[in-house]
Structure 1
Amino acid sequence: MANAANLNVIFETLPAIPKLCSFKNIRRKAKICCYLDKKNDGIQEPSRRFVLSVATVALFGNAGVRNSMAEDNGFWITGPIPVPYAVNDINNKETGTRSFIKKGVYIANIGTKGRMRRLKKYAFDLIAMGDLIAQGDTLNYVRRYLRLKSTFMYYDFDEVISAALEDDKKSLTDLANRLFDSVEKLESAVRKQNLTQTESCHQATVLILEEVMSRMA
């Protein structure tokens, strides 16, 4: 029983939990926990991992939250994640969409200037992706990276076009379509695990990405 008593001491020395306004009353009654060793027919001293696990349950297992205070602070989304969509003519003419678009991604509204900065940064990231492609055995990671960055660029371009002056809308739309047509070809080559074609498509895309960086400067 000495070993069980040692465990009891551990629970008695646990720090008290402060009372929070949004938490129910927490039971802090200490209990003696032990387990039987079938081989030795007696009580065996619990391991350190076991003690920590039980201590965690004792502290937080009975804690309950009534209402989340996140609903009142203005910094959290309390409903479904908004599904973005493009309103400008930047989709593939044949499919009506873009093959690289990744679903379930939250696109934060950071304003037109913020989106332009992000377009410039992500264009640079996709240019630098050539180092990853050159390794040859990383095309699975390349495709994931390409889809994520291009998805952000797709929706950012749409918002930038919408906010642009009428005289700039057409040139921005043409630039976006040239970029995303090239990205689709690159994404297709990566999906086929064709390294030679991937490198060729990436080099062609880099030229357009450099134009995007210049336009968003």
Structure 2
Amino acid sequence: MVDMQSKGIACRIKKCAYELLSIGGDLMDDAYSWDLKGRDIRLKSMFLFCDLSQLISNVPKDQKKALTEVGNKLFSSIEELDHAVKIRSIPLTQDRYNEAGVILQELMVLMP
């Protein structure tokens, strides 16, 4: 049962990562789109955080450290992305989005 649960968690993480990666490039300069992007990023990162925490607690001990380190980098990066969206800076948002994308890809490589 635990293996099936871990597979479900991994599937949700991959789906959420894909959705976060697809948010990226189409920023418009109106208040509604900025607010919508910010809410979407915060919602997806919350689900990602919950699932990643559960996955880390279920993986073998030798995988925990690497996943935890990448997870910490990812959530730090997402916080910076959220801040960039809140201040509505297109260059900063693109930079932080690209950084988060690289870390999400690192996470996908480490996933069991």
Task: Supply the distance in 2 between the matched residues of 1:112 and 1:190 (Cα, whole angstroms).
Answer: 32
Q: Report if aligned partners of 1:119, 1:216 keep a CA contact under 8 Å in 2.
A: no
Residue 10 of structure 2 aligns with which residue? Answer: 116
Q: Report if aligned partners of 1:124, 1:213 keep a CA contact under 8 Å in 2.
A: no
**Residue-pair matches, total:** 107
Greater per-residue helix proportion: 2
Q: Report if aligned partners of 1:115, 1:156 keep a CA contact under 8 Å in 2.
A: yes
Residue 34 of structure 2 aligns with which residue? Answer: 139
Give the counterpart letter for 2:11 in structure 1: R
Output the TM-score relative to the length of structure 1. 0.47
Work out whether 1:216 is the aligned partner of 2:111. Answer: yes
Encode CA deviations 1:25-66: one digit per residue, 9 max, x unaligned.
Answer: xxxxxxxxxxxxxxxxxxxxxxxxxxxxxxxxxxxxxxxxxx
Q: Please give the root-mean-square deviation of Cα atoms over the aligned residues, in Å.
A: 1.5
Output the TM-score relative to the length of structure 2. 0.88
Residue 19 of structure 2 aligns with which residue? Answer: 125
Query: What does 1:5-24 correspond to in 2, within 5 Å?
Result: none
Q: Percent identity?
A: 35
Q: Offset of 1:178 from its aligned partner?
A: 0.6
The unaligned stretches of length 5 or more in structure 1 are 1-109
Structure number with larger C-alpha Rg? 1
Task: Supply the distance in 2 between the matched residues of 1:185 and 1:120 (Cα, whole angstroms).
Answer: 21
Task: Supply the distance in 1 between the matched residues of 2:97 and 2:29 (Cα, whole angstroms).
Answer: 13
The unaligned stretches of length 5 or more in structure 2 are none
The match for 1:161 among 56, 59, 64 is: 56
Q: Report if aligned partners of 2:66, 2:110 keep a CA contact under 8 Å in 1.
A: no
Give the counterpart letter for 2:100 in structure 1: T
Higher relative contact order (CA 8 A, sep 6+): 2
